[in-house]
């Protein structure tokens, strides 16, 4: 009975925390400057990617250091659409500079906004499906899989940088400022985009929560615990691994699209090795295996980054590295794990004061 | 194939880089009944079970299940879905899931990605899990993380998972290892009970255990079938004594 009570008490606590967070998100435009709101919107987009990465890494135990690619593919899809809009029927400027005379066929797909959004989700998903099909089915996993995701980054970045005429090369795609004919820089637009991003994040969180609580989610955790055992129960782990890999790639693609709307540029450096690793750090530091932890990690780390890298740009990278080491060694469950443990301990202390017999106490701490 | 036979291994050979862990092994199992598989260390018992459940592929021979299904062509998860359950030597459960969740995943059900997304646990299934929990002596522990169970409890949980699968052939590798005498007896009784409805193969080193619960014993040695018979016949057999004694003599000097 007591265990039950405890569970429901912490559930109320959690529900209140979620409501509070939602209220804060909704009210943020009221008390932040345009500049800060834009930053926050960008971080929320990152949080979407972090949640997807957490499903893959935290829940299923598959570490990808290549999610920057999926993020970038989503970003490019949106940027290509915006660029076509900005060029108003003419050839985008960088194509002219590279001597193209006609719009490449695959660019024409991005003339419609709806199609661009679909492709911004579908292309990263298909790339993930392709990579997942050949790795998971052949039981390539662990560090070997991670290395392959890094290879994916190298290949993608090289390809995009090399095909300057089609992709804008190192400079990426920029020089646009309107969506549906409205300026992206207008304050109302900024607020609208902020709310869209916040809403997408909430939907992604709810969907992920549903997945994690479902039997599908239990199979994912079972795969993390013992892939072979899952297999001998009659599940095909490769299918589950592919499903979650594709889903997390799709989330990253969505995040990339929103990112471009907030920031107005996408370039190969934003999908490279460092951004890919950074995404993993958000999840590690926030708390892997908890959805809210991943989202919080993305917000906090990027908040800290914008504060620190404005004042001490040169030590930011070192700081981040150090933080990563500290969390992996001392806080394997990240900030959320730390908070949960602290909360648990406080409750234990309270209970001790109320005089719970020794044997009961030890049982609680074992749970 | 004969109606009453559920599994037939014909001349099965498994080799690891040229070393033949199982060579020309024959084994036939009836639809129901408890079969003990014994033999000195390295005799190839585990490898034979591995070959049946698809963990290793035999390099020769045939493994035929039910009416002519050739197991050598199937993947592990397909073999499991056909109704062959396997318990490994080391207890392997899902430590971060709760005890109940372990059983829930093992339960007989559709196991595709979409199926697991759609299902909700039915109250009848919940009841089944509860009953099974009681049966394996983990009554009050359903909501605990399985990783926190004792070694013996983990063994029980794994046996419970296998029962949830409702397999028609159950392969157990030293299920009583690490159990107390009382637990071992309980395991034996449980195995006898479930063997009334299905075929059960148990690899075991504990001769006391085998004597108490076995009807037919299969003895393996150096990857081959040495003999098959009742425990009395096996114990009276010269070659078996030699194989076991020979090993013991080697071990002492
Ligand atoms: N993956 C492998 N690679 C190479 N050799 C192996 C492999 N697995 C088993 N062997 C060898 O095959 C032989 C049979 O091993 P197996 O595990 O089947 O024996 P066992 O009868 O189960 O023994 P035990 O009673 O000790 O469990 C042993 O000599 C072992 O070293
Ligand atoms: Mg063995």
Map residue B203 onto helix, strand or coil: strand
pLDDT digits (tens, 9 = 90+) for A201-218: 999 999 999 999 999 999
Contact A69, A247 (CB under 8 A): no
Q: Determine the Cα–Cα distance for residues A168 and A161; give it in Å rounded to an integer.
A: 8
End-to-end CA distance of chain B: 48
Lowest mean pLDDT among A134-143, A246-255, A308-317: A308-317
Per DSSP, helices labelled H in chain A are: 2-31, 34-54, 67-87, 93-97, 105-108, 113-136, 142-162, 164-167, 187-213, 215-225, 227-233, 237-263, 273-286, 291-311, 313-330, 334-353, 358-366
Q: Which residue, by CA, sits nearest to atom 4 of ligand 1?
A: B16
User: Which run of H or of E encompasses B207?
Assistant: helix B207-213
pLDDT digits (tens, 9 = 90+) for B195-205: 998 999 999 88
End-to-end CA distance of chain A: 14
Q: How many CB atoms lie under 10 A from the CB of residue B134?
A: 12
pLDDT digits (tens, 9 = 90+) for A77-117: 999 999 999 888 888 889 988 888 889 999 999 999 999 99
Inter-chain residue contact A218 with B96, CB threshold 8 Å? no
Report the separation in Å between the CA atom of A327 and the middle of ligand 1, taken as the mean of its atom positions.
41
Q: Determine the Cα–Cα distance for residues A127 and A123; give it in Å rounded to an integer.
A: 6
CA distances A349 to A206, A335, B129, Å, are: 33, 21, 35
pLDDT exceeds cutoff 90 at A73:
yes
Q: Determine the Cα–Cα distance for residues B165 and A57; give it in Å rounded to an integer.
A: 28
What pLDDT score was predicted for residue B29?
93
Matching residue, tokens 């990857």 = B223
B47 in contact with ligand 1, CB cutoff 6 A: yes
Q: Determine the Cα–Cα distance for residues B25 and A310; give it in Å rounded to an integer.
A: 72
Q: Give the position, in ligand 1's atom list, of the atom nearest the Cα of B56.
A: 1
Q: Determine the Cα–Cα distance for residues A97 and A288; give it in Å rounded to an integer.
A: 46
Mean pLDDT of A32-37: 86
Q: Determine the Cα–Cα distance for residues A283 and A57; give it in Å rounded to an integer.
A: 9
pLDDT digits (tens, 9 = 90+) for B52-102: 999 999 998 999 998 888 998 899 999 999 999 999 888 789 999 999 999
Q: Determine the Cα–Cα distance for residues B73 and B30; give it in Å rounded to an integer.
A: 22
Q: Cα A287 from chain centroid? A: 13
From chain A, the residues in CB contact with B161 under 8 A are 233
A vs B, Cβ pairs < 8 A, gives: 77
What pLDDT score was predicted for residue B253?
46
Name A361's Cβ contacts closer than 8 Å, sequence gap at least 6. A348, A351, A352
Confidence of residue A310 (pLDDT cuts 50, 70, 90): confident
Inter-chain residue contact B77 with A234, CB threshold 8 Å? yes
Confidence of residue A356 (pLDDT cuts 50, 70, 90): very low
Instruction: Tell which wins on pLDDT, A10 or A178.
Output: A178
Q: Determine the Cα–Cα distance for residues B120 and B158; give it in Å rounded to an integer.
A: 23
Best residue among B38, B39, B42 to mutate for probing ligand 1, ranked by most atoms within 8 Å of CB: B42
Contact B40, B59 (CB under 8 A): no
Output the CA torsion sign for B67, B71, B76, B77: negative
Share of chain A above pLDDT 70, in %: 93
Q: Determine the Cα–Cα distance for residues A233 and B111; give it in Å rounded to an integer.
A: 9
When CB atoms are compared, the residue of A219, A226, A232 closest to B80 is A232
pLDDT exceeds cutoff 50 at A360:
no
What one-character-per-residue DSSP string does B122-172 give? -HHHHHHHHHHHHHTT-GGGTTSBGGGS-HHHHHHHHHHHHHHT--SEEEE
Q: Where are the domains of chain B?
A: 86-166
Map residue A163 onto helix, strand or coil: coil
Output the CA torsion sign for A27, A32, A34, A35: negative
What pLDDT score was predicted for residue A319?
81
Map residue B64 onto helix, strand or coil: strand
Closest CA to B158 of B210, B88, B108, B205: B88
Confidence of residue A6 (pLDDT cuts 50, 70, 90): low
CB-count burial class (<10 Å; 0-12, 13-18, 19+) for B202: buried
Confidence of residue A25 (pLDDT cuts 50, 70, 90): confident
What pLDDT score was predicted for residue A365?
30
User: What does the angle CA A185 – CA A190 – CA A195 come to, to the nearest 5 degrees?
Assistant: 160
Token code pair at residue B41: 């260390």
What one-character-per-residue DSSP string does A240-296 give? HHHHHHHHHHHHHHHHHHHHHHHHSEE-GGGSSHHHHHHHHHHHHHH-TT-HHHHHH
Inter-chain residue contact B77 with A235, CB threshold 8 Å? yes
How big is chain B, counted in residues? 253
What pLDDT score was predicted for residue B3?
60
B247 in contact with ligand 1, CB cutoff 6 A: no
Beta pairing class for B224-229 and B216-221: antiparallel
Going edge to edge, which strands form the sheet with B5-16? B19-30, B5-16, B60-65, B69-70
What pLDDT score was predicted for residue A8?
60
Q: Cα A141 from chain centroid? A: 21
- State the 10-residue block means of pLDDT for chain B, 253 residues long: 79 92 92 92 92 93 90 92 89 92 94 92 91 89 92 88 92 86 86 90 88 88 91 87 68 48
Residue B198 falls in which region: left (phi positive, over 0), alpha (psi -120 to 50) or beta? beta
Report the separation in Å between the CA atom of B93 and the middle of ligand 1, taken as the mean of its atom positions.
22
Report the separation in Å between the CA atom of B49 and the middle of ligand 2, taken as the mean of its atom positions.
9
* φ/ψ (deg, to 5) at B98: -75, 165
Closest CA to B157 of B174, B175, B170, B180: B175
CB-count burial class (<10 Å; 0-12, 13-18, 19+) for B222: middle
B43 in contact with ligand 1, CB cutoff 6 A: yes
Best residue among B17, B21, B210 to mutate for probing ligand 1, ranked by most atoms within 8 Å of CB: B21
Confidence of residue A363 (pLDDT cuts 50, 70, 90): very low
Inter-chain residue contact B111 with A222, CB threshold 8 Å? no
């Amino acid at each position: 009975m007591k265990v039950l009570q405890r569970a429901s008490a912490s559930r109320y606590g959690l529900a209140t925390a979620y409501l509070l967070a939602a209220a804060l998100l909704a009210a943020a435009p009221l008390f932040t400057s345009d500049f800060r709101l834009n930053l926050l919107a960008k971080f929320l987009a990152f949080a979407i990617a972090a949640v997807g990465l957490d499903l893959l890494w935290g829940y299923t135990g598959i570490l990808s250091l290549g999610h920057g690619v999926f993020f970038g593919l989503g970003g490019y899809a949106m940027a290509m659409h915006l660029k076509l809009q900005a060029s108003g029927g003419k050839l985008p400027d960088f194509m002219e500079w590279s001597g193209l005379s006609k719009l490449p066929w695959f660019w024409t797909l991005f003339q419609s906004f709806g199609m661009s959004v679909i492709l911004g989700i579908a292309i990263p998903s298909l790339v993930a499906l392709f990579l997942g099909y050949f790795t998971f089915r052949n039981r390539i996993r662990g560090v070997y899989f991670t290395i392959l995701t890094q290879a994916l980054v190298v290949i993608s970045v090289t390809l995009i940088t090399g095909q300057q005429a089609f992709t804008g090369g190192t400079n990426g795609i920029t020089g646009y400022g309107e969506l549906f004919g409205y300026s992206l820089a207008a304050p109302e637009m900024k607020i609208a985009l902020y709310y869209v991003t916040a809403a997408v994040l909430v939907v992604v969180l709810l969907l992920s929560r549903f997945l994690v609580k479902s039997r599908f989610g239990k199979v994912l955790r079972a795969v993390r615990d013992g892939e072979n055992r899952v297999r001998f129960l009659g599940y095909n782990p490769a299918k589950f691994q592919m499903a979650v890999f594709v889903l997390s790639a799709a989330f990253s693609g969505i995040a990339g699209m929103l990112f471009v709307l907030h920031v107005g540029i996408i370039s190969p450096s934003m999908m490279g090795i460092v951004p890919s690793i950074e995404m993993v750090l958000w999840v590690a530091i926030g708390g892997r295996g908890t959805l809210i932890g991943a989202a919080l990690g993305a917000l906090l780390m990027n908040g800290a980054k914008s504060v620190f890298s404005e004042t001490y740009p040169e030590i930011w990278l070192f700081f981040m590295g150090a933080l990563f080491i500290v969390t992996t060694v001392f806080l394997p469950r990240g900030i959320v794990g730390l908070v949960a443990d602290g909360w648990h301990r406080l409750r234990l202390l309270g209970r001790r004061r109320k005089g719970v017999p020794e044997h009961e106490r030890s049982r609680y701490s074992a749970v | 194939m004969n109606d009453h036979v559920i599994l037939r291994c014909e001349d099965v050979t498994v080799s690891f880089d040229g070393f033949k862990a199982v060579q020309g092994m024959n084994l036939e199992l009836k639809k129901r009944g408890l079969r003990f598989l014994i033999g000195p260390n390295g005799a190839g018992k585990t490898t034979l079970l591995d070959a049946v459940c698809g963990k290793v592929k035999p390099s020769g021979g045939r493994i035929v299940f039910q009416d002519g299904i050739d197991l050598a062509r199937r993947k592990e998860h397909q073999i499991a879905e056909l109704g062959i359950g396997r318990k490994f030597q080391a207890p392997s459960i899902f430590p971060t899931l709760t005890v109940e969740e372990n059983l829930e995943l093992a339960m007989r059900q559709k196991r595709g990605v979409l199926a697991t997304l759609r299902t909700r646990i039915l109250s009848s299934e919940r009841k089944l899990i509860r009953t099974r929990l009681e049966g394996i002596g983990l009554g009050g522990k359903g909501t605990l993380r399985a990783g926190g169970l004792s070694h013996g409890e983990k063994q029980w949980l794994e046996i419970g998972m296998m029962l949830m699968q409702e397999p028609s052939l159950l392969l157990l590798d030293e299920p009583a290892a690490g159990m107390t005498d009382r637990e071992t007896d309980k395991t034996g009784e449980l195995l006898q009970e479930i063997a009334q409805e299905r075929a059960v193969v148990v690899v075991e080193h504990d001769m006391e255990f085998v004597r108490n619960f076995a009807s037919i014993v299969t003895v393996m040695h150096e990857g081959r079938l040495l003999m098959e018979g009742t425990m009395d016949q096996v114990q009276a057999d010269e070659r078996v004594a030699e194989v076991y004694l020979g090993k013991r003599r080697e071990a002492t000097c």
